[in-house]
């Protein structure tokens, strides 16, 4: 089981180019996965496996990305 990471406002590093993303994981279907950066999230395709993304609802890019995501 993967432990959840603290949110963006905690004293932990976050990706510099995070866009509207707080955290993202590519899930492996066995209870684990690997953390993705924003570039990897925007390049994700369904054949890679389930994607979990925590977005910052106040970021100006969030709505645009959700409306453009048709996976």
Residue scoring higher pLDDT (4 or 19): 19
pLDDT at 40: 93
**Nearest in space to 27 (alpha carbons), one of 48, 3, 8:** 48
Query: What does the mean pLDDT of the chain come to?
Result: 78
Least-confidence region, from 21-25, 38-42, 49-53, 63-67: 63-67
Quickly state the pLDDT bin for 17 (edges 50, 70, 90). low
Predicted TM-score (pTM) of the model is 0.64
């Amino acid at each position: 089981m993967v432990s959840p990471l603290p949110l963006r406002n905690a004293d932990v590093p976050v990706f510099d180019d995070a866009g509207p993303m707080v955290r993202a994981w590519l899930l492996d279907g066995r209870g684990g996965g690997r953390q993705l950066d924003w570039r990897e999230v925007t390049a994700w395709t369904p054949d890679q496996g389930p994607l979990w993304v925590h977005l910052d609802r106040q970021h100006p890019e969030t709505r645009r990305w959700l409306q453009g995501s048709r996976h």
